[in-house]
Amino acid sequence: MKKSLIGALAVSTMLSPVAAIAQTEVQFWHAFTGRLGELVKAQVEEFNAGQSDYVVVESHKGNYSETLNAGIAAFRAGEQPHILMVFEVGTATMMAAKGAIRPVYEVMAESGAAFDQDAYIGAVKGYYTSTDGDMLSLPFNSSTPVLWVNRDAMAAAGVDPDTDLSTWQNVGATLDALKAGGEECPLVTAWQSWIHLENFSAYHDVPFASKDNGFAGLDTELMLNGEAQVAHLTAMGQWAKDGKFIYTGRRNEGGANFRAGDCALFTESSAGYAGIKAEAKFDFDVRPLPYWEGVGNAPQNTIIGGASLWVMEGHEADEYKGAGEFLSFLSSSDVQAAWHQNTGYLPITAEAGDATRAAGFYEENPGTDVAVIQMTAKQPTANSKGLRLGSFDQIRGIIDEELEGIWSGDKSAQEAMDSAKERGDALLRRFETANR
């Protein structure tokens, strides 16, 4: 640590002998490893090289949950970083922690860095803004679920690979045809709660929870046992029973099956692009997430998953200025466009999306704009702005358990979702008590 610091100092003095005197350090904790980790490191290096007042120091703190834990533990010990990456599920936890966080719009206003809230894509921004429309954290990596199609598997089962799969009605008929054609794994999914309940509700413009999905208050209750959700899960449960939908686990285990060519259809995040493109030895398509024709206002817009950057309290004014500069750099059009093209995550500003289109990226990589279109085609409603529920990591765990009850045939969709509501509401009441 000391050695590298001296080394860094030596290098920076050699490069710019005047400016290296009083650089302000900004700590940035994130959850990325591998290719994504390298890309984050490159962004930080570019920022550090581009100006001489601030040094951003990035450190990897484990997966999403571990990074949030590290940030919380550090805050309790008075050693919190300036910028902490928090996954979307932890948003309500962070928002409720007044006194631990400094809202991004405030940081930006004080730092004087360029910041225009309207430049950010509504459906991305909505997840992280207060009810007054102020941006509380900076969206960093955002993705949304789409349908991945193995064209070769479709053809092998005697199904036209160009079949219209925009509605679940059509998907249902296609699953029958795939099964009849000898396909053993017609449909597989990742992140079942995120895709088949949270996004499902937004996409059909039906509430997932009361109080505008929790945006309007802590006294929110789950509404995931509504008619539309239960009907969808009933259909999925029947498909599971018939061997047309194969359940592989609570996270993205199904990705391995799909990338190996074992499955025909796969509902997964748009950020699965890099992995699928690298590994798949078959022709694949990206299609919009299917919806039930005639249910709710489908297709509304889908919501995001991913993480945002939170600025934490308890630091010096000039450090906040540095943090503001860095966040402004991250949301600049060039940085965002490169990030979007390299990772498959959504661009967080409309400008970055336009730049990508203008560069011809979408023509060269067909399907990479499906997620962008799906998220931005309509103005988000109260049901499709996002979710803001406390203890949501645990509630997702409960939903996973109940969904497993449906897939194994132990419970009907209605029973499972009623139970999920009852158990989830108990946790929401605890969260309300803790943050009263």
Which residues are at the interface with another protein (CB under 8 A)? 65, 69, 72, 75-76, 93, 96-100, 247-250, 253, 256-257, 260, 262, 391, 393-394, 397, 400-402, 404-405, 407-408, 410, 423, 426-427, 430, 433-436
Positive or negative, the Cα torsion across 401, 406, 411, 412?
Answer: positive
Nearer to another protein, 82 or 321 (CB): 82
CB 179, min distance to another protein, A:
17
- The per-residue b/e assignment along 69-100, b for 16 or more CB within 10 angstroms, e otherwise, is ebbbebbeeeebbbbbbbbbbbbbbbbbbeeb
Q: Which is nearer to another protein, 152 or 393 (CB)?
A: 393
Q: Whole-number minimum distance, CB 372 to another protein, in Å?
A: 32
Cβ at position 253, least distance to another protein in Å:
8
Nearer to another protein by Cβ, of 97 and 177: the residue is 97
- The nearest distance, CB 392 to another protein, in angstroms, is 9
Maximum alpha-carbon separation in the chain? 73
DSSP for 388-405, written as a single string: --TTHHHHHHHHHHHHHH
214: left (phi over 0), alpha (psi -120 to 50) or beta: left
What gap in Å lies between CA 266 and CA 273, rounded to an integer?
A: 12
Write out the two tokens for 185.
């794994």
Cβ closest to another protein, residue 35 vs residue 76: 76
Instruction: Give me the least distance between CB of 262 and another protein, in Å please.
Output: 7
Indicate the residue among 37 and 397 with the shorter CB distance to another protein.
397
Give min distance, CB of 10 to another protein, in A.
38
Q: Write the DSSP string, 354-385.
A: HHHHHTTHHHHSTTTTHHHHHHHSS---TTTS
Of 231 and 256, CB closest to another protein: 256
Bridge partners of 120, per DSSP, are 349
